Structures are given as structure tokens and as C-alpha cells.
Amino acid sequence: MPTLPKNKNIDWIFFDIGDTLVNEDKLRFNLFRILEKNLRDNKINLSFQDIIATREDLILGHADESPHYTIAKMYLPEGMYHQWHHDIKNHIHRNLKRDLILIPGMDRILRRLSRSYSLGLIADQPHEILDFLKAKGVLNYFKIHAISAILGINKPKKTIYEWAINHAGCSFENALMIGDRIDRDVIPAKEFDMFTIQVKWNTYRKGFEPATKKQLTYLESLHRLKNWQTEPASKKERPDATVERVSLLPAAIEALS
């Protein structure tokens, strides 16, 4: 694979992880599956389809970014809610490697980009994410790891971006942020005058192939309705480029000159 001609304005490329480098849909599905089990154990008659319908109602009616937490609070007694919360945290830490999926084709793109640019991570993730990326053979492409669980800083706080840029030793104007979210990736990066690319991978082409009816029900719901902001609300929030296919990412970066 040929080396990209280096963009004269971009020295560093920083990536978000969730739904940018890595598909989290299977992990999210399993959180809803655990919620369904806890509701059933508490004799709460709510089917998986009911739970997913409630998810969409909460997003549409309340712009709820964490509907699974809200549903658990709505139906579970306080003690059981805390147990569910404990269970899903344990599930995430124990099963991160099993439940996450590297976006198809991303390893080749990272290898190609690493020949022309310095790469880094700016992401809200548990520390186990580095083990996952190492197991997938892509961690070595990243020189800077600004991970929220390690630094104790979450996006969109500006300090996590400042930490990454300071450790990279570059200027904000010579850095590019790539992520899926307007609120946590595009807006804070633009406030620092970084270049920005928003990725919009197709739900059904991110590597998670549903094997059960419940998995398909969840993916169909997610495809219809994300529980985070996907469109800019104003010109100020508009990314410099939007990419819908992994293979088009290098060309979009090259075009930012």
C-alpha cells in the first residue's frame, strides 16, 4: 500500500475509539440483554421489544444519551438497580475483548496513515481498551494514548485534548481529530482550531452480524435512531469533512490542505 503524500498542515491525527475505530454495538446489545434478565428476575413484565421501544421513546422525547440506565432506574428497585449497574460494569471489564469488533478495514488504513502521520488516541474508554487494540495488532500505530479511564478526564473536557497535544509536542492547528460524535469529538476539537473529520459508518457494515432476533431488533433500532448527536446544529459545529466508508478516509485527510 503506497504512502500518502503528507498534508502540509497536518502532522498528527487523533482518533476517537468507540464507533470510529471499534464497533461497540455488540457490547451495547449485551447491556440491554443483561437489563432484560434483571427485569425478568424481578418479575417485571417487559419484553426485549418493549425495552427497545422505550429506548427510542426516551431518545426522541428526552434526548436521552443513556436510555439503558434510565430504563433500569424506571423499573428496578433501588437495590436491584445498583446490582444491575455493578453487573454491567463487570461485564464491560471482563468481556471487552470478546464484545468489541475492530471496524473492518481499519487495520489497513491505520498502517497506511502511520507511514505519513503521527497517530494518537483521544477517547472515553476503560483502560482495557488498550489490551483490545494490542490484541488486534493496531496499538503500536498510536504514539499518544489519551484514554479517559487512565487520565481521569472525559471528553468533551478540553483538558483531555490539551493533554494529548502537549504530549504530542505539536500545535492544535497541525492536528486532526477523527470521531463519530459532534458533541464530544467535533465541537471541542474545532474550539481548538483542529481539523475535524466526522465518521458515519453504516450500522450493518461495522462488523457485527446479528445472530439472533434480539440482536437484529437492537441493530435495527440503532440504525433508525442513535442516542447521541449525529448532525451539526450550526455552522460552528460542522466538521471539515464527513466520511461514510473506511476506504475513503485517507483521501478525505489528504484533501484537507
Instruction: Quickly list DSSP for 214-246.
Output: HHHHHHHHHHH--SS--S-SSGGG--SEEESSG
Q: How confident is the model at residue 146 (pLDDT cuts 50, 70, 90)?
A: very high
Cα–Cα distance for residue pair 62/81, rounded to 1 Å: 21
Do 92 and 106 belong to one domain?
Answer: no
Do 89 and 133 belong to one domain?
Answer: no
Q: How confident is the model at residue 1 (pLDDT cuts 50, 70, 90)?
A: low
228 inside domain = no
225 inside domain = no
Tell me: pLDDT of 121 over 90: yes
105 inside domain = yes
157 inside domain = yes
> How many domains, the chain?
2
73 inside domain = yes
What is the dihedral angle through the alpha carbons of 104, 107, 112, 115, rounded to the nearest 10 degrees?
Answer: 160
pLDDT tens, residue by residue, 15-37? 999 999 999 999 999 999 999 99
Do 88 and 105 belong to one domain?
Answer: no
Do 113 and 202 belong to one domain?
Answer: yes
223 inside domain = no
Give the residue from 54, 69, 99 where a domain finishes. 99
What pLDDT sits at residue 228? Answer: 86
Give the residue from 99, 120, 155 where a domain finishes. 99
221 inside domain = no
Do 173 and 194 belong to one domain?
Answer: yes
pLDDT tens, residue by residue, 172-226? 999 999 999 999 999 999 999 999 999 999 999 999 999 999 999 999 999 999 9
Cell digits of residue 61? 422525547
Provide DSSP, 1-59. Answer: -PPPPPPTT-SEEEE--BTTTEE-HHHHHHHHHHHHHHHHHTT----HHHHHHHHHHHH
Do 135 and 160 belong to one domain?
Answer: yes
Tell me: pLDDT of 48 over 90: yes
Find the range with the poorest average confidence among 45-49, 103-107, 138-142: 45-49
116 inside domain = yes
Tell me: pLDDT of 254 over 90: yes
Do 95 and 117 belong to one domain?
Answer: no
Q: Domain range for residue 43?
A: 25-99
Do 155 and 240 belong to one domain?
Answer: yes
Do 53 and 147 belong to one domain?
Answer: no
Do 131 and 148 belong to one domain?
Answer: yes
How do 118-123 and 142-147 pair as beta strands?
parallel
Give the residue from 52, 71, 99 where a domain finishes. 99
Q: What is the CA radius of gyration of the chain?
A: 19
Cα–Cα distance for residue pair 213/29, rounded to 1 Å: 12
- The distance of Cα 205 from the centroid of its chain, to the nearest Å, equals 15
Tell me: pLDDT of 3 over 70: no
Do 104 and 193 belong to one domain?
Answer: yes
Q: How confident is the model at residue 4 (pLDDT cuts 50, 70, 90)?
A: low
Cell digits of residue 155? 471528553
Q: What is the mean pLDDT of residues 50-72?
A: 94
What pLDDT sits at residue 74? Answer: 94
What pLDDT sits at residue 229? Answer: 83
- Smallest CA-to-CA distance from 103 within 25, 9, 182 is with 25
Between the alpha carbon of residue 13 and those of residues 18, 67, 144, 179, the distances in Å are 16, 32, 10, 11
Do 12 and 113 belong to one domain?
Answer: yes
What is the dihedral angle through the alpha carbons of 29, 185, 118, 120, rounded to the nearest 10 degrees?
Answer: -50
- Smallest CA-to-CA distance from 227 within 80, 28, 74 is with 28
